[in-house]
Amino acid sequence: MNRVLLKDGEKYGGQYVATRSFKDRKVVSYGREPSKVFNEAKEKGVKEPVVFYVPKKGMVQIY
């Protein structure tokens, strides 16, 4: 099972990314504001975009 959401994540580090779905991981929109990323994806015809944050390389994350 492939658990990687984005193969070229370094390209989008520090930004929000929208893909068509968890299966179709083609990036349709990206930027610094999640609402704008979501709305842009919707405008491009994506019914339910998947939006997530891509941390910068080397960034420490605590959940």
Cβ(36)–Cβ(42) below 8 Å: no
- Whether residue 1 is contained in a domain is answered as no
Query: How many structural domains comprise the chain?
Result: 1
- Whether residue 62 is contained in a domain is answered as no
Q: Domain range for residue 31? A: 10-54
- Whether residue 61 is contained in a domain is answered as no
Element (H, E) at 15: strand 15-19
- Whether residue 39 is contained in a domain is answered as yes
Q: What was the pLDDT predicted at 50?
A: 94
Q: What was the pLDDT predicted at 8?
A: 73
Q: What was the pLDDT predicted at 5?
A: 67
Burial class (CB in 10 A: 0-12, 13-18, 19+), 51: middle
Quick: pLDDT tens for 5-60: 677 777 899 999 999 998 888 999 999 999 999 999 999 999 999 999 998 877 77
